[in-house]
């Protein structure tokens, strides 16, 4: 069986430079769960070349680089972080107090003939937009070049921030695709699973959005998934409109990139002006147990998650009370639900 660590390209020289330039004595390694097997390579490298540097591995899930915890840095007393698999979160304005090395882990695989044949049979348009999550940017560029040689016009857009790569998207940030929306009618979204493709299909409802998973070599037309998700989301919105909304739990995150003060202030103001009671709750992780605990304490009519707009849609949609994204709360409070607002 292939070791997942062998499928990704890591530049270990970056770790050497980082440790030496910053004289790091205690380092914290972070990676999303799917990429944690890569950490072993980095640990072996640090132990061999920098034996004086103590290593701590964060077992937190690190879905995004938005999840930086000041507490973890302070309590553990680390003097540097290596964050594997993401680049810097574009809206991280605060300083965590220690240097961070954002270390991309690029997927080294190439599109196979089987996948190409399947892709060519699936896509009907000749003008195609292409975006990818960061791991698959080299794969996307290779695929774009292959498609160009076959006569397709491939458009790869610029992201909203210079901290991101050309064509890069996040689960909550799709500017690289939105910048190309008028040039194409179809997008190929390259990432693991359907998560990123689903996000784009919630924004661009008139375009064909194909998800492409390089590991599984699968291609999906996301419209069926999108329609199913929207049916669930609208069911929750109608539930609130029918029953009314008197009390809302605003859930905020104490993690650095996920504490969205302007969104929180906007929602507080919106609820106050509409005579709706609310209480703010802080938690780093949001799951059904946390929602139940808040429900027991406060019994709100609805919850709104301000940390990550994917949590209500991807993880908490089965909770028996509505758990909303900020955009969905705005839709129901303003009683304007025709245009689905995503991500915010
Ligand atoms: S807020 Fe959610 S979707 Fe956006 S980068 Fe963070 S984890 Fe990903």
Most informative mutation of 32, 308, 312, 314 for ligand 1 (most atoms within 8 A of CB): 308
CATH 3.40.50.11860 fits 234-333, yes or no: yes
* CA-closest candidate to residue 307, choices 298, 299, 315: 315
Of all protein residues, the one whose alpha carbon is nearest to atom 2 of ligand 1 is 308
Closest ligand 1 atom to residue 173 Cα is 4
What are the φ/ψ torsions at residue 316 (nearest 5 degrees)?
Answer: -120, 20
**Cβ(196) – ligand 1 distance below 6 Å:** no
What confidence score (pLDDT) does residue 252 get?
Answer: 98
CA distance 160 to 179: 9
For residue 2, pLDDT beyond 80? no
Cα-Cα-Cα-Cα dihedral sign, residues 312, 268, 281, 88: positive
Q: What is the mean pLDDT of the chain?
A: 95
Say if residue 3's pLDDT is above 90.
no
- Report the CATH fold assignment for 4-105: Rossmann fold (3.40.50)
Output the CA 168–ligand 1 centroid distance in Å: 13
Q: Where is mean pLDDT largest: 3-7, 28-32, 66-70?
A: 28-32
CA angle 303, 308, 314 (to 5 degrees): 80
Most ligand 1 atoms within 8 A of CB, residue of 170, 286, 342 to mutate: 170
- Structure-block tokens of residue 108: 């080294």
Query: Which atom belonging to ligand 1 lies closest to the Cα atom of 307?
Result: 1
pLDDT one-digit tens code per residue, 38-55: 999 999 999 999 999 999
Judge if the beta carbon of residue 260 lies within 6 A of ligand 1. no
pLDDT tens-digit series, residues 220-241? 999 999 999 999 999 999 999 9
Question: Domain 113-221 adopts which CATH fold?
Answer: Rossmann fold (3.40.50)
- Would the CATH topology of 113-221 be identical to that of 234-333? yes
Task: Measure Cα distances from 153 to 76, 95, 129, 204, 230 in Å.
Answer: 51, 41, 8, 20, 31
Residue 58 has pLDDT above 90, yes or no: yes
Which atom of ligand 1 lies nearest, measured to the CA of 89? 5
* Bond before 343 cis per omega within 30 degrees: yes
The percent of residues above 90 in pLDDT, for the chain, comes to: 94
210 near 197, Cβ under 8 Å? yes
Residue whose CA lies nearest to ligand 1 atom number 1: 308
Burial of 34: CB neighbours in 10 Å, binned 0-12, 13-18, 19+: middle
Confidence of residue 243 (pLDDT cuts 50, 70, 90): very high
Instruction: Output b/e per residue, 281-303; b: 16+ Cβ within 10 A.
Output: bebeebeeebbeebbeeeebbbb
Tell which residue, 293, 296, 290, has the closest CA to residue 312.
290
> How many Å apart are CA 307 and CA 49, to the nearest integer?
38
Pair of tokens at residue 236: 């929750």
pLDDT band at 78 (very low <50, low <70, confident <90, very high): very high
- Determine if ligand 1 sits within 6 Å of the CB of residue 263: no
User: Does ligand 1 lie within 6 Å of residue 310's CB atom?
Assistant: yes
Span 153-182, average pLDDT: 97
8 Å CB contact between 258 and 308? yes
Residue-range domain boundaries for the chain: 4-105, 113-221, 234-333
Pocket test residue of 69, 195, 310 for ligand 1, highest count of atoms within 8 A of CB: 310
User: What does the pLDDT read at residue 5?
Assistant: 80
pLDDT in tens, 140-160: 999 999 999 999 999 999 999
Burial of 231 (0-12, 13-18, 19+ CB in 10 A): exposed
pLDDT digits (tens, 9 = 90+) for 268-308: 999 999 999 999 999 999 999 999 999 999 999 999 999 99
Residue 238: count of CB within 10 angstroms of its CB? 13
Structure tokens at 340: 């689905």
pLDDT band at residue 92 under the 50/70/90 scheme: confident
First to last CA, the chain: 41
pLDDT of residue 1: 63
The residue among 308, 285, 284, 296 whose CA lies nearest residue 249 is 296
Q: Is any atom of ligand 1 closer than 6 Å to the C-beta of 92?
A: no
- Say if residue 37's pLDDT is above 80: yes
């Amino acid at each position: 069986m292939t070791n997942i660590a062998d499928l990704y390209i890591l530049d270990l020289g970056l770790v050497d430079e980082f440790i030496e330039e910053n004289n790091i004595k205690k380092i914290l390694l972070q990676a999303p769960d799917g990429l944690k097997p890569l950490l072993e390579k980095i640990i072996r490298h640090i132990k061999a070349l920098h034996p004086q540097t103590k290593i701590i591995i964060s077992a937190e899930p690190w879905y995004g680089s938005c999840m930086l915890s000041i507490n973890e840095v302070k309590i553990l007393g680390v003097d540097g972080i290596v964050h594997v698999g993401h680049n810097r979160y574009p809206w991280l304005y605060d300083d965590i107090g220690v240097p961070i090395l954002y270390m991309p882990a690029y997927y080294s695989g190439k599109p196979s003939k089987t996948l190409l044949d399947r892709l060519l049979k699936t896509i009907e348009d000749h003008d195609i937009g292409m975006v990818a999550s960061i791991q698959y940017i080299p794969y996307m560029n290779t695929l774009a070049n292959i498609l160009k040689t076959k006569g397709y016009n491939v458009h790869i857009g610029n992201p909203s921030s210079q901290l991101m790569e050309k064509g890069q998207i996040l689960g909550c940030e799709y500017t690289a695709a939105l910048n190309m929306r008028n040039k194409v009618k179809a997008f190929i979204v390259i990432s693991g699973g359907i998560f990123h493709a689903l996000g784009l299909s919630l924004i661009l409802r008139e375009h064909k959005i194909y998800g492409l998973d390089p590991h599984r070599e699968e291609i999906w037309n996301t419209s069926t998934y999108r329609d199913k998700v929207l049916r669930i989301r609208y069911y929750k919105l109608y539930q609130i409109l029918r029953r009314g909304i008197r009390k809302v739990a605003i859930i905020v995150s104490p993690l650095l990139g996920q504490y969205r003060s302007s969104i929180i202030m906007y929602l507080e103001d919106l609820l106050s002006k509409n005579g709706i009671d609310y209480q703010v709750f802080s938690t780093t992780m949001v799951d059904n147990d946390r929602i139940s605990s808040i429900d027991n304490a406060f019994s709100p009519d609805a919850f709104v998650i301000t940390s990550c707009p994917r949590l209500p849609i991807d993880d908490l949609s089965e909770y028996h009370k509505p758990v909303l994204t900020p955009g969905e709360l705005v839709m129901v409070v303003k009683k304007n639900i025709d245009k689905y607002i995503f991500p915010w």
